[in-house]
Chains A and B, each alone.
Chain A
Amino acid sequence: MSDITTPQTADAAAAATAPVLTVDELTIGIGSRKNLKSIVKGISLTLTPGRIQGLAGESGSGKTVTSLAMLGLLPSNAVVGGSIRLNDTELVGMTHRQLNEIRGRRIAMIFQDPSSSLHPQLTVGVQLTDHVTRHLKLSKKQARAHAIELLERVRVPNPAEALARYPHQFSGGQRQRIAIAIALACDPIVLLADEPTTALDVTVQAGILHLLRDLADERQLAVLLVTHDLGVMSAIADDIAVMRHGEVVESAVRQEIFANPQHAYTRELLASLPGAAGFEEATE
């Protein structure tokens, strides 16, 4: 597992690869026109193929809202300023119809709790194929074969049988693997992961993180990993941005953040970890 905690080749490759998603001076306010509450106050980020960008911060710091903005999934009373570009396409200001061509197809997302993010009344097979037939114009049969391949890749046992089953018939860790398979089904270039292991047992967290790292490497996915847990960050993130009160207070490659934190808030967060060895153990 030491190879996933230190992706040596990634640093060199990153310099050569252009970012696929660029967030520039993003601002998000929520509320009525007269009573707008500013949630995100001008943050900038880039996501690069094959790299995992961590976005850390306590709850309420604006990190989840930032990830939702990238898919245009904010509530209708949200006001978004600044720019989010996917390659050269500006996403801010797009209509839902336009965004639907990007959601799931170019940018996919996995959520915190797979027991609520998977539809309890739809089989795994339906949830793994309904967007595939829409985006990739595959036939039902092709989509099914594709779905079996995906489940194999995320290591869900008996993929063909699993398609006919419902989410509640799987363990929490397997559900999140299924959610990852759904996210990857249309071969997106960006994956947003919002606290992907927070709702899971500690024993299965490492497996999910390992899988995300492997998928980022082999598919050259640009991953945004949103979490409050620096232990999770230390396990798989390449770069880390620390958010507080809607602003990025510090942003650097992972080793830099852990070895030499510049901002007082980052040091506070690090100090709250259960001992220096704590976050290394979390990956085992």
Chain B
Amino acid sequence: MGNTPRATRRYSARSPLVGYLLRRLGTSVLLLFGVTIVTFALANLVPGDPIAAALGEGAASNPATVEAYIKERGLDQPLPVQYANYIGGLFQGDMGISLRTTQPVADDLAKAVPATVEIALLAIIVSLGIGVALGSLAAYRRGKISDQLVRVFSLIGLSIPTFWMALVSFNFFFLQLRIAPGSGRLSPALAPPPTVTGFYTADALLAGQWVTFTDALAHLMLPVFVLSLFTIGLLTRFVRTSVLEVLDADYVRAGRAKGLSGSRLLFGYVLRGASLPILTIVGLAFGTLLSGTVLVEAVFAWPGLGSYAYNSATSLDLPGVMGVGLVVGVVYLSINFAVDLLYGVLDPRVRLA
């Protein structure tokens, strides 16, 4: 009982958590700098002639044009200076001008990122719901028929190549059955809703455009379905394993001994106990979904980050490629930060560590 005063003090001291978060934020900023160095270096090291690609065959054969172009873009400066200019621009929200679209990269990304986030968010919510339900079911019925079925299903989800599933489901549901809308975010006849969040579904609701909302939602269905299959398989597996582990824990047996209802036990005790490993994998899966699933976006002609990355890379649009790299870096850093924060929320022991 000699520990009481110490325990009290520990609990009342909230500052360790704040300090930890500040440190975490500091390292994130440093890492972000690292990301800019890597993307900048990679973009400038890859073979290929971006200037020729940007100017086209005719103009690139004219030395005067090439020189003017190089001067205008500061490409005659040494690489460290170019990098410094790039970083300086970033601080003012200037990510350079896309060689391909001739628009500011920041503007391009502001259009592409919400399109991908909309899909990724919906896919992760669907996957989490189904993955937790199936994984818990399989764990509770370990070894029974339902467990076997769930495991086979999750293995199928994990093994089917996503781009193949995209092609097959596009062909089947759109071209054959004609129950799914075609590619893109909206039917050609409809105008995008006024931009607030950048999510067509949310913006349409905010504007009260019911028809646009249902159309945007219908366009989301197929890509979300295709992307979710893999994530559902992944989450089902992890949830099953984590729940199995927790089901053996003493505190779950103690909860049973208290006569708690099945749902209280599942949500309050079992899933809470399994929440940290599940959260870790959800963070990873969400990062993958957000960093643009290039091939799926290509199949559905979805104007998101994946399509933008693909188009920038194939046309040697270096500012565009660097912009995508930076966004993906920010995405992973923010997700890791959010996951760390949530660890602290879900498990009080983490707050002290």
Partner-B contacts on A (CB < 8 A): 71, 73, 96, 99-105, 108-109, 111-113, 116-122, 126, 130-131, 134-135, 157-158, 161, 164-166, 168-171, 173-174, 179, 182, 204
Contact = CB atoms under 8 A, between A and B. Distances in A.
Given A157-B4, A158-B8, A170-B7, A104 B257 contact: yes
Nearest to B349: A168
A120 B250 contact: no
Interface string B221-254: 0000000000000000000000000000111011
5 nearest interchain CB pairs?
Answer: A103-B259, A104-B258, A104-B259, A116-B250, A131-B258
21 contacts: A73-B257, A99-B259, A101-B259, A102-B259, A109-B257, A117-B254, A119-B254, A120-B347, A120-B349, A122-B268, A122-B269, A126-B268, A134-B264, A135-B259, A164-B11, A165-B11, A170-B3, A171-B2, A173-B1, A179-B254, A182-B254
B73 interface: no
Contact of B272 (A71, A102, A121, A179): A121
B96 interface: no
A169 B273 CA distance: 18
Given A170-B3, A171-B4, A119 B11 contact: no
Given A121-B272, A122-B272, A134 B259 contact: yes
Contacts of B275: 121
B62 interface: no
A134 B262 CA distance: 12
Interface string B127-154: 0000000000000000000000000000
B255 interface: yes
Interface in B1-45: 1-4, 7-8, 10-11
Contacts, number: 103
Interface in B261-285: 261-262, 264, 268-269, 272-273, 275
B3 A100 contact: no
A135 B2 CA distance: 35
Q: Is the interface of B mostly helix, strand, loop or mixed?
A: helix
A108 B1 contact: no
B256 to A, nearest CB: 6
B68 to A, nearest CB: 64
B3 A171 contact: yes
Contacts of A71: 256-257
B251 A120 contact: yes
Contacts of A130: 258, 260, 264, 268
Contacts of A73: 253, 256-257
B78 interface: no
Contact of A105 (B11, B256, B259, B272): B259
B58 interface: no
B348 interface: yes
B167 to A, nearest CB: 44
A275 B192 CA distance: 87
Contact of B257 (A101, A108, A112, A158): A108
A102 B264 CA distance: 17
Contacts of B10: 169
Given A73-B253, A120-B349, 6 more contacts: A104-B258, A108-B257, A111-B257, A121-B347, A171-B2, A182-B258
Contacts of A117: 250-251, 253-254
Interface in B81-108: none
A182 to B, nearest CB: 7
A73 B253 CA distance: 8
A97 to B, nearest CB: 9
Nearest to A107: B257
A103 B254 contact: no
A169 B7 contact: yes
B268 A103 contact: no
Nearest to A185: B258
Contact of B254 (A118, A166, A170): A118
Given A166-B349, A168-B348, A168-B349, A103 B256 contact: yes
Contacts of B258: 103-104, 108, 130-131, 182
B346 interface: yes
A40 to B, nearest CB: 18
Contacts of A182: 254, 258
B56 to A, nearest CB: 61
B7 to A, nearest CB: 4
Contacts of B249: 116
B250 A121 contact: no
A68 to B, nearest CB: 8
A184 to B, nearest CB: 11
Nearest to A161: B8
A165 B258 CA distance: 20
A121 to B, nearest CB: 5
Contacts of A102: 259
Contact of B250 (A108, A111, A134, A168): A111
Nearest to A71: B257
B3 A166 contact: no
